[in-house]
Chain A
Amino acid sequence: MTKRSIIDVPDLSLPELDRLMDTAEDIIARPDDYADACRRKKLATLFFEPSTRTRLSFEAAMYELGGNVLSVTGAATSSAAKGESVADTAKTVSCYADIIAMRHPKEGAALVAARNASVPVINAGDGGHCHPTQTLADLLTIRREKGRLDRVTVGLCGDLKFGRTVHSLIGALSRYAGLRFVLVSPEELKVPSYVKNEHLKKNGIPYLQTTDLEEVIGDLDILYMTRVQRERFFNEEDYLRLRDSYILTPEKLKKARKDLCVMHPLPRVNEISVAVDDDPRACYFKQVLNGKYMRMALILMLLREAGKL
Chain B
Amino acid sequence: MNVDAIRDGIVIDHITAGCGMKLYRLLGLEALDVPVAMITHAVSAKRGRKDIIKIDAEFPVDFDVIGYVDPGATVNIIRNGELQEKKQIEMPETLVGVIACKNPRCITSCEQELPQVFRLADREKKEYRCIYCETKAAGL
Contact = CB atoms under 8 A, between A and B. Distances in A.
Interface stretch (A102-110, A146-154, A264-272): A102-110
Nearest to B101: A108
B97 to A, nearest CB: 16
B132 A111 contact: yes
B111 A85 contact: yes
Contacts of B111: 85-87, 106, 112
Given A112-B132, A194-B134, A106 B113 contact: no
Interface in A279-293: none
A128 B106 CA distance: 10
Given A112-B132, A127-B133, A194-B134, A107 B114 contact: no
A194 B136 contact: yes
B66 interface: no
A106 B136 contact: no
Interface in B112-140: 113-114, 121-122, 129-136
Contact of A107 (B103, B113, B122): B103
Given A107-B132, A127-B133, A129-B133, A112 B107 contact: yes
Contacts of B113: 85
Interface of A, secondary structure class, is mixed
B110 interface: yes
A129 B134 contact: yes
Contacts of B103: 107
Contact of A106 (B106, B121, B129, B134): B106
Contact of B105 (A85, A86, A112, A128): A128
Contacts of B110: 106
B88 interface: no
Interface string B81-110: 000000000000000000000010111111
Interface string A73-103: 0000000000001110000000000000000
Contacts of A112: 107, 111, 114, 132
Given A87-B111, A106-B106, 11 more contacts: A86-B111, A106-B109, A107-B105, A108-B107, A108-B131, A109-B107, A111-B107, A112-B107, A112-B114, A126-B107, A128-B105
The 10 lowest CB-CB distance pairs between A and B, nearest first, are A108-B132, A107-B133, A106-B107, A108-B107, A109-B107, A108-B133, A127-B105, A107-B105, A107-B106, A85-B111
Interface of B: 103, 105-111, 113-114, 121-122, 129-136
